[in-house]
Homo-oligomer: A and B are copies of this chain.
Amino acid sequence: MSFSKCLTLKNMNPCLKKIEYAVRGPLVIRAAEIEKELKEGKKKPFNRVIRANLGDCHAVGQVPITFFRQIIALIAYPGLLSDPNFPKDAKERAKSILNGCRGSSVGSYPDSSGFEIVRRHCAEYIENRDGIPADWQNIIIGNGAKDVIKAVMELLISEINGKKAGVMTPIPQYPLYSAAISKFNMHMIGYYLDEATNWSLNVSELERAVNEAKEYCEPRAIVVINPGNPTGQVLTRKNIEEIIKFAHKENLFILADEVYQHNIYDANSKFFSFKKVLMEMGPPYNQMELASFMSCSKGYMGECGLRGGYCEITNLDPEVQKILIKSISAMFCPNNIGQAVLDCVVNPLKKGDPSYELFEKEKNFILDSLKERAKMVYEGFNACEGMSCNVVQGAMYAFPQIKMPPRAVEKAKSLNQCPSVFYCFQLLEQTGVCVVPGAGFGQVEGTYHFRTTILPQPEELKHMLNIFKTFHEKFLAEYK
Protein backbone atom coordinates (compact mmCIF):
# COMPACT_ATOMS: atom_id res chain seq x y z
CA MET A 1 0.00 0.00 0.00
CA SER A 2 1.43 3.36 -0.89
CA PHE A 3 1.62 6.10 1.67
CA SER A 4 2.45 9.73 1.30
CA LYS A 5 3.78 11.73 4.23
CA CYS A 6 1.63 14.58 5.43
CA LEU A 7 4.73 16.60 6.28
CA THR A 8 7.40 16.92 3.61
CA LEU A 9 10.17 19.27 2.55
CA LYS A 10 7.65 20.79 0.17
CA ASN A 11 4.93 21.64 2.65
CA MET A 12 6.88 22.17 5.88
CA ASN A 13 7.70 25.51 7.49
CA PRO A 14 9.99 27.13 4.91
CA CYS A 15 11.68 29.35 7.49
CA LEU A 16 13.14 26.39 9.35
CA LYS A 17 14.82 25.16 6.18
CA LYS A 18 16.85 28.36 5.99
CA ILE A 19 18.34 28.05 9.48
CA GLU A 20 22.09 27.54 9.67
CA TYR A 21 24.05 27.01 12.85
CA ALA A 22 27.72 26.46 12.29
CA VAL A 23 28.80 26.11 15.92
CA ARG A 24 26.95 22.81 15.93
CA GLY A 25 27.20 22.20 12.19
CA PRO A 26 28.78 19.54 9.91
CA LEU A 27 32.34 20.10 11.15
CA VAL A 28 31.29 19.57 14.74
CA ILE A 29 29.32 16.48 13.77
CA ARG A 30 32.43 15.13 12.04
CA ALA A 31 34.47 15.84 15.20
CA ALA A 32 32.09 13.65 17.19
CA GLU A 33 32.44 10.89 14.60
CA ILE A 34 36.22 11.09 14.82
CA GLU A 35 36.00 10.79 18.61
CA LYS A 36 33.98 7.62 18.16
CA GLU A 37 36.46 6.25 15.62
CA LEU A 38 39.34 6.90 18.04
CA LYS A 39 37.42 5.11 20.80
CA GLU A 40 36.94 2.15 18.48
CA GLY A 41 40.71 1.99 18.03
CA LYS A 42 40.95 3.49 14.55
CA LYS A 43 44.47 4.80 13.87
CA LYS A 44 44.81 8.55 13.35
CA PRO A 45 47.76 10.94 13.35
CA PHE A 46 46.47 12.16 16.75
CA ASN A 47 45.03 10.51 19.83
CA ARG A 48 42.23 12.90 20.76
CA VAL A 49 40.00 15.65 19.42
CA ILE A 50 40.74 19.08 20.88
CA ARG A 51 37.45 20.94 21.00
CA ALA A 52 37.82 24.65 20.58
CA ASN A 53 34.52 25.01 18.75
CA LEU A 54 32.10 25.79 21.54
CA GLY A 55 32.13 28.13 24.54
CA ASP A 56 31.70 25.12 26.77
CA CYS A 57 34.03 25.72 29.72
CA HIS A 58 33.37 22.63 31.81
CA ALA A 59 33.68 20.34 28.80
CA VAL A 60 37.34 21.27 28.52
CA GLY A 61 38.38 21.02 32.13
CA GLN A 62 37.09 24.11 33.94
CA VAL A 63 36.10 23.20 37.49
CA PRO A 64 32.73 24.39 38.84
CA ILE A 65 32.52 26.96 41.63
CA THR A 66 32.13 24.94 44.83
CA PHE A 67 29.60 27.25 46.46
CA PHE A 68 27.26 27.17 43.44
CA ARG A 69 27.21 23.40 43.39
CA GLN A 70 26.68 23.18 47.14
CA ILE A 71 23.59 25.32 46.70
CA ILE A 72 22.19 22.99 44.05
CA ALA A 73 22.80 19.93 46.21
CA LEU A 74 21.13 21.60 49.19
CA ILE A 75 18.03 22.84 47.40
CA ALA A 76 17.54 19.58 45.52
CA TYR A 77 18.06 17.39 48.56
CA PRO A 78 17.22 19.47 51.63
CA GLY A 79 18.18 16.58 53.92
CA LEU A 80 21.71 17.93 53.46
CA LEU A 81 20.75 21.10 55.33
CA SER A 82 21.69 19.23 58.50
CA ASP A 83 25.00 17.96 57.09
CA PRO A 84 27.85 19.63 59.01
CA ASN A 85 30.08 19.42 55.93
CA PHE A 86 28.14 22.17 54.20
CA PRO A 87 29.00 25.75 55.15
CA LYS A 88 26.55 27.97 56.97
CA ASP A 89 26.23 30.57 54.22
CA ALA A 90 25.41 27.91 51.64
CA LYS A 91 22.69 26.59 53.88
CA GLU A 92 21.26 30.05 54.44
CA ARG A 93 21.22 30.80 50.74
CA ALA A 94 19.61 27.43 50.02
CA LYS A 95 16.92 28.08 52.60
CA SER A 96 16.13 31.48 51.14
CA ILE A 97 15.76 29.95 47.68
CA LEU A 98 13.53 27.17 49.02
CA ASN A 99 11.51 29.85 50.78
CA GLY A 100 10.86 31.42 47.39
CA CYS A 101 9.57 28.10 45.99
CA ARG A 102 5.93 27.18 46.43
CA GLY A 103 5.71 24.23 48.80
CA SER A 104 9.41 24.84 49.56
CA SER A 105 10.32 22.48 46.71
CA VAL A 106 12.37 23.21 43.59
CA GLY A 107 9.96 20.78 41.95
CA SER A 108 7.15 23.36 41.92
CA TYR A 109 6.52 25.79 39.08
CA PRO A 110 8.14 29.20 39.40
CA ASP A 111 6.36 32.25 38.03
CA SER A 112 6.92 32.26 34.28
CA SER A 113 9.31 35.21 34.49
CA GLY A 114 11.21 33.55 37.33
CA PHE A 115 11.30 33.74 41.11
CA GLU A 116 10.67 37.20 42.51
CA ILE A 117 13.66 36.90 44.81
CA VAL A 118 16.04 36.06 41.97
CA ARG A 119 14.61 38.84 39.80
CA ARG A 120 15.12 41.27 42.68
CA HIS A 121 18.72 40.15 43.02
CA CYS A 122 19.25 40.60 39.27
CA ALA A 123 17.96 44.16 39.55
CA GLU A 124 20.25 44.87 42.52
CA TYR A 125 23.20 43.44 40.61
CA ILE A 126 22.47 45.73 37.67
CA GLU A 127 22.09 48.74 39.97
CA ASN A 128 25.41 48.01 41.62
CA ARG A 129 27.09 47.46 38.27
CA ASP A 130 25.74 50.59 36.58
CA GLY A 131 24.90 52.98 39.37
CA ILE A 132 21.52 53.36 37.69
CA PRO A 133 18.19 52.17 39.17
CA ALA A 134 16.80 48.87 37.92
CA ASP A 135 13.28 47.53 38.44
CA TRP A 136 12.97 43.81 39.21
CA GLN A 137 9.72 43.70 37.26
CA ASN A 138 11.73 44.38 34.11
CA ILE A 139 13.73 41.18 34.61
CA ILE A 140 12.69 38.02 32.79
CA ILE A 141 14.48 34.77 33.48
CA GLY A 142 14.76 31.94 30.96
CA ASN A 143 16.38 28.57 30.41
CA GLY A 144 19.56 30.32 29.40
CA ALA A 145 19.73 33.61 27.53
CA LYS A 146 18.44 31.88 24.36
CA ASP A 147 14.88 31.72 25.68
CA VAL A 148 14.71 35.41 26.47
CA ILE A 149 16.55 36.51 23.32
CA LYS A 150 13.96 34.67 21.26
CA ALA A 151 11.08 36.04 23.34
CA VAL A 152 12.18 39.63 22.79
CA MET A 153 12.98 39.15 19.10
CA GLU A 154 9.55 37.64 18.55
CA LEU A 155 7.95 40.89 19.62
CA LEU A 156 9.40 42.51 16.52
CA ILE A 157 7.98 40.08 13.97
CA SER A 158 5.67 42.16 11.83
CA GLU A 159 5.07 43.36 8.34
CA ILE A 160 5.04 47.11 7.84
CA ASN A 161 4.00 48.57 4.51
CA GLY A 162 4.41 45.09 3.03
CA LYS A 163 7.99 44.88 4.26
CA LYS A 164 9.43 42.36 6.70
CA ALA A 165 11.06 43.51 9.92
CA GLY A 166 14.81 43.94 9.57
CA VAL A 167 17.27 43.23 12.36
CA MET A 168 20.77 44.68 12.12
CA THR A 169 23.26 42.01 13.04
CA PRO A 170 27.06 42.15 13.14
CA ILE A 171 29.17 40.26 10.65
CA PRO A 172 30.83 38.20 11.99
CA GLN A 173 28.03 37.33 14.42
CA TYR A 174 27.00 34.61 16.80
CA PRO A 175 24.72 32.49 14.60
CA LEU A 176 21.90 32.30 17.13
CA TYR A 177 20.82 35.66 15.73
CA SER A 178 20.82 34.67 12.08
CA ALA A 179 19.06 31.43 13.00
CA ALA A 180 16.35 33.28 14.92
CA ILE A 181 15.96 35.80 12.11
CA SER A 182 15.47 32.96 9.60
CA LYS A 183 13.03 31.18 11.86
CA PHE A 184 11.01 34.32 12.51
CA ASN A 185 10.92 35.19 8.83
CA MET A 186 12.64 38.51 9.45
CA HIS A 187 15.32 40.12 7.37
CA MET A 188 18.95 40.12 8.52
CA ILE A 189 20.69 43.42 7.89
CA GLY A 190 24.35 42.52 8.19
CA TYR A 191 26.78 45.23 9.24
CA TYR A 192 30.50 44.52 9.11
CA LEU A 193 32.66 44.90 12.18
CA ASP A 194 35.91 46.67 11.40
CA GLU A 195 38.73 44.13 11.74
CA ALA A 196 41.34 46.91 11.30
CA THR A 197 40.16 48.70 14.46
CA ASN A 198 39.81 45.58 16.58
CA TRP A 199 36.30 44.73 15.44
CA SER A 200 34.76 48.04 16.46
CA LEU A 201 31.46 49.28 15.03
CA ASN A 202 31.89 51.95 12.44
CA VAL A 203 28.91 54.30 12.13
CA SER A 204 29.39 54.89 8.41
CA GLU A 205 29.16 51.12 7.92
CA LEU A 206 25.98 51.03 10.03
CA GLU A 207 24.59 53.81 7.82
CA ARG A 208 25.50 51.93 4.66
CA ALA A 209 23.88 48.75 5.92
CA VAL A 210 20.64 50.32 7.08
CA ASN A 211 20.22 52.50 4.02
CA GLU A 212 20.72 49.64 1.59
CA ALA A 213 18.29 47.53 3.60
CA LYS A 214 15.48 50.07 3.63
CA GLU A 215 14.59 49.21 0.09
CA TYR A 216 13.46 45.73 0.97
CA CYS A 217 12.75 45.66 4.70
CA GLU A 218 11.71 47.79 7.65
CA PRO A 219 14.67 48.16 10.02
CA ARG A 220 13.40 47.59 13.58
CA ALA A 221 16.31 46.57 15.78
CA ILE A 222 20.05 46.33 16.13
CA VAL A 223 21.92 43.48 17.80
CA VAL A 224 25.23 44.33 19.44
CA ILE A 225 27.34 41.65 21.08
CA ASN A 226 29.67 43.14 23.69
CA PRO A 227 32.12 41.67 24.59
CA GLY A 228 32.15 40.20 21.12
CA ASN A 229 31.38 36.71 19.94
CA PRO A 230 33.15 35.44 17.81
CA THR A 231 35.45 38.44 17.76
CA GLY A 232 36.55 38.97 21.39
CA GLN A 233 36.50 42.78 21.33
CA VAL A 234 35.27 45.03 24.15
CA LEU A 235 33.51 48.15 22.89
CA THR A 236 34.70 51.51 24.13
CA ARG A 237 32.24 53.82 25.81
CA LYS A 238 32.61 56.21 22.91
CA ASN A 239 31.74 53.51 20.40
CA ILE A 240 28.66 52.55 22.43
CA GLU A 241 27.55 56.19 22.45
CA GLU A 242 27.89 56.33 18.67
CA ILE A 243 25.81 53.18 18.30
CA ILE A 244 23.11 54.55 20.59
CA LYS A 245 22.96 57.79 18.60
CA PHE A 246 22.70 55.84 15.40
CA ALA A 247 19.94 53.62 16.83
CA HIS A 248 18.08 56.69 18.01
CA LYS A 249 18.28 58.34 14.62
CA GLU A 250 16.96 55.20 12.94
CA ASN A 251 14.41 54.46 15.71
CA LEU A 252 15.83 51.00 16.39
CA PHE A 253 15.25 48.72 19.36
CA ILE A 254 18.65 47.83 20.85
CA LEU A 255 19.34 44.19 21.68
CA ALA A 256 22.51 44.14 23.75
CA ASP A 257 24.02 40.69 24.15
CA GLU A 258 26.16 41.23 27.25
CA VAL A 259 26.59 37.65 28.38
CA TYR A 260 30.39 38.00 28.54
CA GLN A 261 30.34 41.02 30.87
CA HIS A 262 32.56 39.21 33.41
CA ASN A 263 35.07 38.24 30.73
CA ILE A 264 37.32 41.27 30.32
CA TYR A 265 41.05 40.55 29.97
CA ASP A 266 42.64 43.57 28.38
CA ALA A 267 44.05 46.08 30.86
CA ASN A 268 42.85 48.98 28.68
CA SER A 269 39.31 47.67 28.28
CA LYS A 270 36.36 48.08 30.57
CA PHE A 271 32.83 46.77 30.28
CA PHE A 272 30.11 49.41 29.93
CA SER A 273 26.55 48.21 29.71
CA PHE A 274 24.34 49.76 27.06
CA LYS A 275 21.88 50.60 29.84
CA LYS A 276 24.44 52.63 31.75
CA VAL A 277 25.67 54.55 28.72
CA LEU A 278 22.18 55.19 27.38
CA MET A 279 20.94 56.43 30.76
CA GLU A 280 23.95 58.62 31.32
CA MET A 281 23.57 60.20 27.89
CA GLY A 282 20.35 61.78 29.16
CA PRO A 283 17.34 62.73 27.00
CA PRO A 284 16.28 61.70 24.47
CA TYR A 285 18.57 58.63 24.60
CA ASN A 286 17.57 57.61 28.12
CA GLN A 287 14.07 56.89 26.82
CA MET A 288 15.19 54.42 24.19
CA GLU A 289 14.02 50.83 24.20
CA LEU A 290 16.67 48.31 25.12
CA ALA A 291 16.91 44.66 26.05
CA SER A 292 20.09 43.40 27.66
CA PHE A 293 20.90 39.69 28.00
CA MET A 294 22.99 37.89 30.60
CA SER A 295 23.71 34.22 31.25
CA CYS A 296 25.18 31.73 33.74
CA SER A 297 26.80 29.88 30.87
CA LYS A 298 29.71 32.25 30.47
CA GLY A 299 31.68 34.50 32.86
CA TYR A 300 33.78 32.62 35.42
CA MET A 301 31.03 30.09 36.19
CA GLY A 302 30.51 28.56 32.74
CA GLU A 303 27.42 26.64 33.83
CA CYS A 304 26.06 26.10 30.29
CA GLY A 305 24.31 22.84 31.08
CA LEU A 306 22.19 24.25 33.88
CA ARG A 307 20.44 26.82 31.69
CA GLY A 308 20.01 30.07 33.52
CA GLY A 309 19.88 33.49 31.91
CA TYR A 310 17.97 36.73 32.13
CA CYS A 311 16.93 39.74 30.15
CA GLU A 312 16.48 43.26 31.46
CA ILE A 313 14.05 45.29 29.40
CA THR A 314 14.25 49.05 29.56
CA ASN A 315 11.68 51.61 28.40
CA LEU A 316 9.41 49.07 26.78
CA ASP A 317 5.89 50.34 26.09
CA PRO A 318 3.91 49.09 29.14
CA GLU A 319 1.20 47.61 26.93
CA VAL A 320 3.77 45.71 24.90
CA GLN A 321 5.41 44.53 28.11
CA LYS A 322 2.08 43.09 29.30
CA ILE A 323 1.82 41.08 26.11
CA LEU A 324 5.41 39.91 26.44
CA ILE A 325 4.71 38.68 29.97
CA LYS A 326 1.51 36.98 28.86
CA SER A 327 3.17 35.26 25.92
CA ILE A 328 6.01 34.10 28.15
CA SER A 329 3.62 32.68 30.70
CA ALA A 330 2.01 30.57 27.99
CA MET A 331 5.16 29.41 26.29
CA PHE A 332 8.11 29.37 28.69
CA CYS A 333 9.11 28.25 32.14
CA PRO A 334 12.61 28.74 33.51
CA ASN A 335 14.08 25.78 35.41
CA ASN A 336 14.62 26.35 39.10
CA ILE A 337 18.18 25.04 39.29
CA GLY A 338 19.37 27.48 36.62
CA GLN A 339 17.65 30.23 38.57
CA ALA A 340 19.46 29.25 41.74
CA VAL A 341 22.81 29.45 39.93
CA LEU A 342 21.81 32.82 38.50
CA ASP A 343 21.03 33.95 42.03
CA CYS A 344 24.56 33.01 43.11
CA VAL A 345 26.00 35.04 40.23
CA VAL A 346 23.97 38.19 40.73
CA ASN A 347 24.04 38.10 44.53
CA PRO A 348 27.63 37.03 45.09
CA LEU A 349 29.19 36.18 48.43
CA LYS A 350 30.46 39.07 50.48
CA LYS A 351 33.64 39.54 52.45
CA GLY A 352 33.19 37.86 55.80
CA ASP A 353 30.88 35.12 54.54
CA PRO A 354 32.36 31.72 55.44
CA SER A 355 32.60 30.67 51.79
CA TYR A 356 33.87 34.00 50.50
CA GLU A 357 37.60 33.24 50.44
CA LEU A 358 37.21 29.99 48.56
CA PHE A 359 34.75 31.57 46.13
CA GLU A 360 37.08 34.48 45.36
CA LYS A 361 40.02 32.14 44.96
CA GLU A 362 38.17 29.90 42.54
CA LYS A 363 36.69 32.79 40.59
CA ASN A 364 39.96 34.67 40.26
CA PHE A 365 41.87 31.55 39.35
CA ILE A 366 39.52 31.03 36.40
CA LEU A 367 39.46 34.65 35.28
CA ASP A 368 43.25 35.02 35.63
CA SER A 369 43.78 31.86 33.67
CA LEU A 370 41.38 32.99 30.93
CA LYS A 371 43.33 36.24 30.74
CA GLU A 372 46.55 34.31 30.32
CA ARG A 373 44.96 32.12 27.65
CA ALA A 374 43.56 35.14 25.79
CA LYS A 375 47.16 36.37 25.50
CA MET A 376 48.49 32.95 24.50
CA VAL A 377 45.96 32.73 21.69
CA TYR A 378 46.68 36.24 20.44
CA GLU A 379 50.42 35.68 20.45
CA GLY A 380 50.21 32.12 19.16
CA PHE A 381 48.25 32.98 16.04
CA ASN A 382 50.19 36.11 15.28
CA ALA A 383 53.35 33.98 15.39
CA CYS A 384 52.03 31.95 12.44
CA GLU A 385 53.12 33.20 9.04
CA GLY A 386 50.15 34.38 7.00
CA MET A 387 47.80 34.64 9.99
CA SER A 388 46.73 37.66 11.96
CA CYS A 389 44.69 37.90 15.11
CA ASN A 390 43.28 40.89 16.98
CA VAL A 391 43.80 41.27 20.70
CA VAL A 392 41.32 39.15 22.65
CA GLN A 393 40.05 41.90 24.93
CA GLY A 394 37.17 39.88 26.30
CA ALA A 395 34.65 37.04 25.86
CA MET A 396 36.02 33.55 25.12
CA TYR A 397 37.02 33.62 21.47
CA ALA A 398 39.47 34.74 18.86
CA PHE A 399 38.67 35.13 15.17
CA PRO A 400 42.03 35.01 13.39
CA GLN A 401 42.36 35.77 9.70
CA ILE A 402 44.17 33.39 7.38
CA LYS A 403 45.86 34.76 4.29
CA MET A 404 44.71 31.91 2.16
CA PRO A 405 47.07 30.86 -0.70
CA PRO A 406 45.26 31.20 -4.06
CA ARG A 407 45.79 27.51 -4.80
CA ALA A 408 44.01 26.60 -1.55
CA VAL A 409 41.14 28.90 -2.52
CA GLU A 410 40.91 27.16 -5.89
CA LYS A 411 41.04 23.74 -4.31
CA ALA A 412 38.25 24.65 -1.88
CA LYS A 413 36.11 26.07 -4.66
CA SER A 414 36.59 22.92 -6.71
CA LEU A 415 35.11 21.07 -3.72
CA ASN A 416 32.30 23.60 -3.54
CA GLN A 417 33.43 24.70 -0.10
CA CYS A 418 34.21 28.08 1.40
CA PRO A 419 38.01 28.14 1.81
CA SER A 420 37.54 28.67 5.56
CA VAL A 421 35.48 25.49 5.70
CA PHE A 422 38.07 23.62 3.66
CA TYR A 423 40.84 24.79 5.98
CA CYS A 424 39.00 23.79 9.14
CA PHE A 425 38.11 20.35 7.79
CA GLN A 426 41.74 19.74 6.84
CA LEU A 427 42.80 20.85 10.30
CA LEU A 428 40.31 18.54 11.97
CA GLU A 429 41.12 15.47 9.89
CA GLN A 430 44.88 15.92 10.13
CA THR A 431 45.29 17.12 13.71
CA GLY A 432 42.04 16.54 15.64
CA VAL A 433 41.73 20.25 16.40
CA CYS A 434 38.11 21.41 16.03
CA VAL A 435 37.45 25.11 15.35
CA VAL A 436 34.58 26.71 13.46
CA PRO A 437 35.03 28.16 9.94
CA GLY A 438 34.56 31.91 9.52
CA ALA A 439 31.84 31.17 6.98
CA GLY A 440 29.59 30.14 9.86
CA PHE A 441 29.75 33.64 11.36
CA GLY A 442 30.11 35.76 8.25
CA GLN A 443 33.26 37.54 7.02
CA VAL A 444 34.16 40.15 4.44
CA GLU A 445 34.09 38.53 1.01
CA GLY A 446 37.52 37.25 0.04
CA THR A 447 38.77 37.07 3.65
CA TYR A 448 39.02 33.82 5.54
CA HIS A 449 38.82 33.26 9.28
CA PHE A 450 38.00 30.72 11.91
CA ARG A 451 36.68 31.03 15.42
CA THR A 452 38.55 29.33 18.20
CA THR A 453 37.70 29.43 21.86
CA ILE A 454 40.42 30.30 24.36
CA LEU A 455 39.02 27.63 26.69
CA PRO A 456 41.32 24.60 26.50
CA GLN A 457 43.34 24.45 29.74
CA PRO A 458 46.72 26.24 29.46
CA GLU A 459 48.86 23.15 28.78
CA GLU A 460 46.34 21.84 26.26
CA LEU A 461 46.06 25.24 24.65
CA LYS A 462 49.83 25.46 24.27
CA HIS A 463 49.77 22.03 22.68
CA MET A 464 46.93 23.12 20.39
CA LEU A 465 48.75 26.24 19.28
CA ASN A 466 51.84 24.16 18.46
CA ILE A 467 49.77 21.75 16.44
CA PHE A 468 48.18 24.70 14.67
CA LYS A 469 51.53 26.23 13.75
CA THR A 470 52.84 22.97 12.32
CA PHE A 471 49.63 22.33 10.41
CA HIS A 472 49.48 25.86 9.09
CA GLU A 473 53.06 25.79 7.81
CA LYS A 474 52.41 22.47 6.12
CA PHE A 475 49.19 23.84 4.62
CA LEU A 476 50.95 26.93 3.26
CA ALA A 477 53.75 24.78 1.83
CA GLU A 478 51.25 22.45 0.19
CA TYR A 479 49.25 25.21 -1.49
CA LYS A 480 51.94 27.90 -2.04
Contact = CB atoms under 8 A, between A and B. Distances in A.
Contact of A12 (B3, B13, B320): B320
A307 interface: yes
Contacts of A301: 107
Contact of A329 (B24, B76, B334): B24
A105 B54 CA distance: 15
A305 B21 contact: no
Contact of A56 (B102, B302, B323): B102
Nearest to A142: B143
A62 B59 CA distance: 36
B107 A317 contact: no
Contacts of A110: 305
Contact count band on A: 35 or more
Interface in A143-191: 143-144, 146, 150, 154-158, 160, 175-176, 179-180, 183
A460 to B, nearest CB: 12
Interface string A429-453: 0000000000000000000000000
A11 interface: yes
Nearest to A252: B6
Nearest to A74: B73
A167 to B, nearest CB: 12
A54 B109 contact: yes
Interface stretch (A194-202, A283-291, A367-375): A283-291
A335 B320 contact: no
A16 interface: yes
A1 B284 contact: yes
Interface in A292-336: 301-307, 315-317, 319-320, 323-324, 326-327, 329-336
Contact of A143 (B1, B175, B335): B335
A77 interface: yes
A72 interface: yes
A132 interface: no
A335 B109 CA distance: 15
Interface of A: 1, 3-9, 11-17, 19-21, 24, 51, 54, 56-62, 64, 69-70, 72-74, 76-77, 80, 83, 85, 101-103, 105-110, 112, 143-144, 146, 150, 154-158, 160, 175-176, 179-180, 183, 220-221, 251-253, 283-284, 287-289, 301-307, 315-317, 319-320, 323-324, 326-327, 329-338
23 contacts: A4-B251, A5-B289, A5-B317, A6-B221, A7-B156, A7-B289, A11-B158, A12-B158, A54-B109, A56-B108, A58-B105, A58-B107, A59-B102, A59-B105, A60-B103, A69-B77, A70-B77, A72-B337, A73-B74, A105-B305, A306-B335, A335-B335, A337-B337
